[in-house]
Structure 1
Amino acid sequence: MAHECISVFDIFKIGVGPSSSHTLGPWRAALQFLKEVQATGRKLSSIEHVSVLLYGSLAKTGHGHGTDIAVQLGLCGDDPVTFDVNQINSKIDDIRRNKVMVVGGTHPVTFDPLQDITFLFDESLPYHPNALTFLVTFNDGEQQAATYYSIGGGFVLKEGETQGGGAAQVDLPFPIDTARQLLQWCIKTGYSISELVMENEHAWRPEAETRAGVMNIYRVMKECIYRGSHTAGELPGGLRVARRAAALNKKLLKGRTYTDYNSWIDAIRAGGNHFAYTLDWVSCFALAVNEENASFGRVVTAPTNGAAGVIPAVLQYFITFCDGNQDDKIMQFMLTASEIGSIFKKRSTISAAMGGCQAEIGVSSAMAAAALTECLGGSQRQVLMAAEIAMEHHLGLTCDPIGGLVQVPCIERNTMGAIKAITASQLALQSNPELAKVSLDAVVKTMWDTALDMNSKYKETSDGGLAVNIPISLPEC
């Protein structure tokens, strides 16, 4: 049986907000399309015209999620990992004003976003709600087209593929598709979950490279928390949502300011660790990340952008209040979290367009709960129990973003997911997992069954729930 190989760097990706499936995925699809054009022997300089079709969920919430912006940046050849997010608005404004796009960063082509990006609101492709098609016409009249599916978490599949968008498929020493298989390997080898994951990562690269890469991802998370906690103002998009993390940070520190991350964390620790204080900081950390995400900031997909605040908030809680500020502990946290995310990706979904918000906040909460439990000394069974508890209490959570923006209720949901993760971890650590009635695999299956039964209007379309019950007036796109 072939096993899908998912690396820690597939689950955690550095990118740009506000959505992994509606922003990062389409961006990466555009880059992939340019490579495929060149792979046929065509030069980018032979392109005369380019157009994009957005289907289903990508169309319905595309403006709010910046899908149109993402495909333009991708077609320009910009990398979401390194592109200066402060230049996004000016670059998109230049394209709109001049009606010229520099394809691949080298070849100017006439391009009018209002005419050449088509939002097919009432048309969905059967494989996945998040579909988009690129079409280029060359100067000899020939055309080339390709359709891609953004299947969640920044993963992209080209039409006709069954696997793709992740790490190279390799022979893993410990192939894992289910929580049961994961536990069996742990029992057989005596490894913790994080140790087992590291052994699998060796199939792709040396351990030193994995460690460096994971710590770089943590660096981006840490910088995002700090930046978001010190940036006031209003979120873009027209809802006029006020950023709250900076105000909460200032209130908790009684107006004191700190110019670097380390002194800021030291000041937070000095305030103690009583329940309400800790709870407020976990909320602040999560708010900070997702307010950055909503502002087209640099974030880590974990495992999605809409849920990007849960894992950093719980990790920061562990570092700040549980003496977890050690590289080995951070590695342990990230590796364990990634394996739980991989199981959900393989056996269910991490796409809100497929499964509602349970597939994003629910999965991220399960990942964080598992990671925290291992780092606090829990057994492998307790780690899986924590993940199960966290997801069990997100089952059925819908995705109904107001105005198609990753703001309301998305940002607050990250605070809830983080708190539930910590609670799930504490419950698992104080429980005997041998007596548990529900397995993680059962919850994963239930989540997928629930996703299949969920009405499509609650799957990131803004056609139901809060999105239709809260009156708003957004500016014209």
Structure 2
Amino acid sequence: MRAGKIFVQDLVEHKILERVASIKVDLYGSLALTGIGHGTPNATLMGLEGELPETVPTETIISRVQDMHDTATITLNGAHRIRFNPDKDMTLHCYESLPQHPNGMRFTVFDVNGDMLATNEYFSIGGGFVVNEKTQVAHGENVFYRDSKHDPMHTSSSSAVGESADKSSAGPAAAEPAQMDERTQQDLVTAALPFRTGKDLIELCEREGLSIAEVVYLNELQWRSREDVIDSAYRIWNVMDDSIRRGCLSTERKLPGRLNVHRRAPHLYQNLMRGIYGTVAGQGLLSSASNAQGALSDGQTGVLDDGAMSGSAYSASSLLGTALTSTQRNELSGVFKRRQRARRPVLPQLDYLSVYAIAVNEENAAGGRVVTAPTNGAAGVIPSVLKYHLEFLSEDPSRDILEFLFTSAAIGMLYKRGASISAAEMGCQGEVGVACSMSAAAFAAVMGGTPAQVENAAEIGIEHNLGLTCDPVDGLVQIPCIERNALGAVKAVTAAQLALQGDGSHRVSLDQVIETMRQTGHDMMSKYKETSQGGLAVNVPIC
């Protein structure tokens, strides 16, 4: 979506938008192979109509795209209507990739005579980041996005904004298209406290007596005011929290797509408590958790009380290989007492953690708005761990929201610089693996960990996600993505707890594991990197 928006604003800057009569859209590699399941075509078209992920009315995307199919037109930047048939003018190049990155796309516009006016290629490199080469206009002049000066020293631009899972659409395009507030290479600022590696970051914190969150905060102040920094962080959390709310309270029974996956978050939420959002959250959650914990002893009798043995498929005789005598049956009944239903959860607080993550990713799968953290496919891990902390543990939510988000951001920067947060390059280790690492570090920070302990938590979080493949069934961000976020959240809390039990010293450094992840992603076959050509994607029947 953001790439499309950048392109049409370039057309405005070049003063050629009104001359455009037609447009061709080409999606390459991973964007093509899993694009339909990921909602990429719809998001791209919304960007070309001038929408932004933060503001597009997600509930109207589908109807707007359908209108494009019906009328064979599109309204560029919300102002210039041209002919456009999505079935013919948008091409998915499933077995071709642009050389710069597996997630590539190209936009080309033509005048009424069919002559090319302008073209550009964009690359989605993960985390909502879009990079592009210089826009080539027909006369060969290079002009940079939102910069009227033709400076040959700067030939590319990039934008980094959370690309919400808005793979749905907005109502009729507004007459006044949304405006972008982007930093280009022309106006990047210098960080007050720069760092490139985990080692740099820890040494910086120790030398200056700062926490990791404080380092990020001071760097942000180099280009924004204190109010803007804090307000932006709270806005991000509000979107995260709202995605949990919508996922938990959804009345839809199934997610879109051919897999017929049922939404689980509403049912799980109802089973856990009545009214997460209608009571004093902390007290309500803790009370429910306490009640659930107190019920654990119900029905627990006998030496072993394994609920798995109560299923109809279980047969004592098949287990032992012979028919049982009455004496043997009496002996078994005295030892194993079968229950009619499974026990209540042993760790109910972790069930809240799981339902938060599942809720977010079900919203993502349904085309709702989520925060790219660090990617849409892994968008449930960070919100669920932060929500878990705020509901169960936090004594100062306002402070903890900032510390959690700033700390996780610092760790995310290390992965983006040292490896990648794109599943098309790294597999799911670059998505859920990185999200787990970011969450583990942030959770350790808000629990009072030192910078060294925080770095240790981040290292543990990623070390045990190395090699994780991205093989979504039918290209949909549903199987295994939704459950994997829940497991990533639980693993993040466990990693933080392990780190907090130590003094921060550990044998394997975060930098070493980031480099290992980079090498692993490079060596991983492309069929395991967001192409739906291997793994679960080919072994799980669609129908």
TM-score with structure 2 length normalisation?
0.79
The 5-angstrom pairing of residues 202-221 of structure 1 reads 202-221=221-240
User: Residue 234 in 1 paired to residue 207 in 2?
Assistant: no
Count how many residue pairs are aligned between Structure 1 and Structure 2: 442
Match among 417, 423, 426 for residue 488 of structure 2: 417
Q: CA RMSD in A?
A: 1.5
| Deviation readout 1:173-232 (Å, 9 max, x if unpaired) | 111110011011101100011111111111111111100110111111111111101114
- Counterpart Cα distance in 1 of 2:395 and 2:434: 23
2:126 corresponding residue in structure 1: 152
2:433 aligned partner? 362
**Which blocks of at least 5 consecutive residues in structure 2 are unaligned?**
135-154, 161-182, 294-345
- 2:376 corresponds to which of 305, 313, 317: 305
Give secondary structure in 1 for the equivalent of 2:347.
helix
> For 2:20 and 2:511, how far apart are their aligned partners in 1?
49
Q: Distance in 2 between matches of 1:451 and 1:391?
A: 13
Deviation at 1:169, TM superposition (A): 1.9
Where does residue 121 of structure 1 map in the other structure?
A: 94
The alpha-carbon deviation at position 387 of structure 1 amounts to: 0.1
Q: What is the CA–CA distance in structure 2 between the aligned matches of 1:318 and 1:472, rounded to whole Å?
A: 37
* Secondary structure of residue in 2 paired with 1:157: strand
**Bigger Rg, structure 1 or 2:** 2
Q: Deviations over 1:254-280 (max 9, x none)?
A: xx346x455455422221355611111
Match of 2:517 among 434, 447, 455: 447
| Distance in 1 (alpha carbons) for counterparts of 2:423 and 2:235 | 27
2:286 is aligned to 269
2:240 maps to amino acid: M
SS at match of 1:171: coil
Q: Paired residue for 2:350?
A: 279
The structure 2 residue matched to 1:437, chosen from 504, 507, 518, is 507
The equivalent of 1:100 in structure 2 is 73
Distance 2:61 2:449 in 1: 44
Q: Which amino acid aligns with 2:447?
A: L
SS at match of 1:152: coil
Distance in 2 between residues matched to 1:283 and 1:387, nearest whole Å: 20
Give, in whole Å, the separation in 2 of the partners of 1:426 and 1:162.
Answer: 42
Q: What CA distance in whole angstroms lies between the structure 2 residues aligned with 1:116 and 1:244?
A: 38
- Structure 1 unmatched ranges of 5 or more: 1-26
Name the residue aligned to 2:219: 200
1:266 and 1:321 map into 2 onto residues whose CA distance is: 8
Question: Helix, strand or coil: the match of 1:271?
Answer: helix
**Shift of residue 143, structure 1, vs aligned partner:** 2.3
- Distance in 2, Cα, partners of 1:90 & 1:342: 37
Whether the aligned pair in 2 keeps the contact of 1:344 and 1:444 (CA below 8 Å) is yes
CA distance in 2, matches of 1:373, 1:454: 31
Q: Secondary structure at the match of 1:250?
A: helix
Of residues 225, 246, 249 in structure 1, which corresponds to 2:269? 249
Shift of the alpha carbon at 1:336?
Answer: 0.4
Distance in 2 (CA, whole Å) between partners of 1:234 and 1:263 is 30
Equivalent runs, 1:53-202 vs 2, <5 Å: 53-139=26-112, 141-159=115-133, 164-166=158-160, 167=183, 168-202=187-221
**Inter-partner Cα distance in structure 2 for 1:280 and 1:203:** 40
Alpha-carbon distance in 1 for matches of 2:99, 2:237: 37
Structure 1 residue 118 displacement after superposition? 0.3
Q: Kindly state the Cα deviation for residue 325 of structure 1 after the two structures are TM-superposed.
A: 5.0
Query: For 1:229, what is the secondary structure of its paired residue?
Result: helix
Alpha-carbon separation, structure 2, partners of 1:119 and 1:183: 44
Deviations 1:127-157, CA, capped at 9 Å, x for gaps: 1100000010023634211111111111111
1:362/1:390 contact within 8 Å kept: yes
Are 2:432 and 2:484, in contact at CA under 8 Å, matched by a contact in 1?
yes
Residues 385-424 of structure 1 aligned to structure 2 (within 5 Å): 385-424=456-495
8 Å contact kept, 1:318–1:324? no
Find the aligned partners of 1:270 and 1:216 in 2 and give their Cα distance.
29
Give the distance between the partners of 1:148 and 1:220, measured in 2 at CA.
26
CA contact (8 A) 2:394 2:400 kept: no
- For residue 541 of structure 2, what is the aligned residue in structure 1? 471
In terms of fraction of residues, the more helix-rich structure is 1
Shift of 1:103: 1.1
Deviation (angstroms), 1:234: 0.4
- Aligned residue for 1:108, secondary structure, equals strand
CA contact (8 A) 2:285 2:392 kept: no
Range that drifts further, 290-299 or 317-326:
317-326
Is residue 150–residue 156 contact of structure 1 (8 Å, CA) maintained in 2?
Answer: yes
Q: 1:383–1:220: structure 2 CA closer, same or farther, 3 Å change rule? A: same
Match of 2:529 in 1: 459
SS in 1 for 2:436: helix
How many angstroms does 1:398 deviate by? 0.3
Q: Could you state the TM-score of these two structures normalised by the residue count of structure 1? A: 0.90
Deviation at 1:352, TM superposition (A): 0.2
SS of equivalent to 2:262: coil
How many angstroms apart in 2 are the aligned matches of 1:325 and 1:59? 45
Question: Equivalent residue of 2:21, what SS?
Answer: strand
- Distance, in Å, in 2 between the alignment partners of 1:408 and 1:142 is 41
SS at match of 1:165: strand
Question: Counterpart amino acid of 2:107?
Answer: F
Residue in 1 that maps onto 2:323: none
